[in-house]
Structure 1
Amino acid sequence: MTALGGDIAVTGLGLVTPAGIGVEENWERLLSGRSRATRDGALDGMPVDFSCRVPGFHAEELLGGFASWQLERFVQLALVAGRMAVRDAGWNPETWDGRRVGVVLGNSLGGAATFEEQHLVLCERGPAKVSPLLVTKYMPNMAAGYLAIDVGATGPSMVTATACASGATAVGTARDWLRSGACDIVLAGASESALTPTVMAGLGRMGALSRSGDAPEHACKPFDAERDGFVAAEAAGVLVLERTADARSRGATVRALVGGYGASSDAHHATAPHPDGQGIERALRGGLADAGVAPDEVDHVNAHGTATPMNDVIEGRMLRRVLGDRAAVTSTKGVTGHALAAAGAIEAAYAVLAVQHGVVPPTANLKNPDPSIELDVVSGEPRRTRVDVAVSTSLGFGGHNAALVLTSA
């Protein structure tokens, strides 16, 4: 084991999102700037009947029969993403020391689909007919639990639950474990799959969802003057993190470095961010200080950018205040939709890819930029540019904020 502290290397990525299954498919779709939003048969008759689901995800094919019926979908997504990330990092779980491997994944809503289904069973058929798998399929911690089982990771494992900041919180937690010496390898990320009628009804009643149902593929418009909410999504993203010296000593490919992490709480409101963006500003400034990066050194921001009227203005003004207008900003939610707890994880992975490839994806559906948001928001076509420092910002209900600083290797 090498000296502790310092930057942490990202050596593996696994992505299962509406943009596709696998890193290459995700990156190609992001660069195309084409949304994945479409009508959702599970939401027929609902006020908002469209979403962003993972296309072509067949659990039996990807994981086998056991997982296809005994595991909830958010766990299935996490397992596929986790296996991809481990392979990408060049590790073999059969040969690593599992005692030195940790797992930290974010999740918010657990197995909402199973809970809804089994509640109906209870009401209609009685308690004797409720599935014995209800509790284990519903519990959010099972994303980390089953991934640890799958890869033989017997170090620490946990689920972070900071709402839509959960994935970023997980990556920051993993970085801390590595710096402290608690682990030598950590699988970090998040998973969410809760596109159920009840959850969607709740989000709709909050006013968070876009109502642009005539053309779902154009509904999510981050930073656009005509934005009216997000499109809900499911996804999983897993990053393999190691101390940089350890990764290089084994000849691993280092995609990027996790140079800094900052977190804060608004202590303001259950669902609305602080009107001045004070919380996310503290998180961003903390992450930059942790990384030893000056604000004018940031080349790219993968913004939280939910396409809700309030979030985009508050976040946009905060980014301008802290970073100026030099950084090339994007919101990838225009393509993927908002994957709730998984958003911060997949967006951290996208920021890693931007650093690695020197390309900033466009913000899908941005046609009429909001003039009150004075940022260099990339739209239309991907932008090829040197990205030595990228930032990924995440905000969650409850006032949770997290910012990751990713730097070139």
Structure 2
Amino acid sequence: MTTLETRVSIAEALTAVTQDGLPFRFTAYDGSAAGPEDSQIHMHLASERGLSYVLTAPGDLGLVRAYVMGDLEITGVHPGNPYGLMQMMLNQVHFHRPTPAEALRIVRGLGWSHLKPPPPPPQEHLPKWRRTFEGLRHSRTRDRAAIHHHYDVSNRFYEWILGPSMTYTCAVYPSLDATLEQAQAEKYDLVARKLDLRPGQRLLDVGCGWGGMVRHAAREYGVRALGVTLSSAQAEWATEAIERDGLTDRAEVRFLDYRDVPEWDFDAISSIGLTEHIGVRNYPSYFGFLLDRLKPGGRLLNHSITRPDNRYRSTGAFIDRYIFPDGELIGSGRIIAEAQDAGFEVRHEENLREHYALTLAAWSDNLEAHWDEAVAEVGYPTAKIWGLYLAACRVGFERNNTQLHQILAVKLDPNSNAHFPLRPTWLS
């Protein structure tokens, strides 16, 4: 490691904590620079406030705060689709933790005044009582607030990103040249085939979003479908779509916590993108509730983002404070075990990781294509956050940092007959 003098430039401090240098150009307001001069991507730390953000926040949170507030400027990539930068940051930039002595020299050289944390950006979500009352995590009130933070941004904003399907979960690409809309329709149909939906059956879709699965099941399979969501904006949009599609006699979406669904004896339940929000310690009650709501022989399809292992860890400060407050991920093994312990028989699982990377690429392209409209709708800082989030998640799925599992389970009837075919039709 390079010996640091009493005064340290920002670029020197940065290169001191990176193992292999920077693959992009970095400059700072103090005139220092690092990284290849001919790099297409250029990151510029523009102010002392930006340096204070970086020095006083854990992990990547400081960089995100500086970026959101405009103190960290990035050129060479589109703010709606900074995939190239995210590839470099996650694949080529390797930070190492300095020793206490090294950290002291760096901070002293940069100036003690930069250790006073600036106020976080207004887009950051962190309830003041989070650390004091951790037991309130995933209460009905707190879950409603967390869902509101992410999903009630603007239906128009989501329309630009998600496209006509208004589907905010992993698509299933039948081929690499399939469109996003074709892939989302294939996802819904795959879920329907796994659930073996038939006319006249009753489907419950928990965490239904904008009602895509509810409408597909009612329209294509003739079922009576009920969807529930904690987002009032989603429920409003879905209800209008159901009316527009002429499905009011078979489909309904309610603004309701899934735990408050009063009906019983559903033939099938789909949970597409809800498990990430309920908390790992709540899996027993979650699967127990769903088991109770199914009739004997009924099926559950659980579709959720997972980790490649079953070791619990936080989602990280950026995701927790800007994207999915209180979100939690775990491996498919833990989810399967909890479903089995609740009384389900697990019949099939598969990992659709590559499909989510393709889905995120399509969403990023949509955001870039509608960038001016998105900025006008939600503001430049929020739009930048979304660009960063979608691109980073895409790289995460490509690197196998995250996965997407569909798990199919059955509620046995009293004589242990699951009514499950020897060769499921979706495997044909």
TM-score, normalisation: structure 1: 0.29
Structure with the largest fraction of helix = 2
Higher Rg of the two aligned structures: 2
Structure with the largest fraction of strand = 1
Structure with the larger RCO, 1 or 2 (CA within 8 Å, 6+ apart): 1
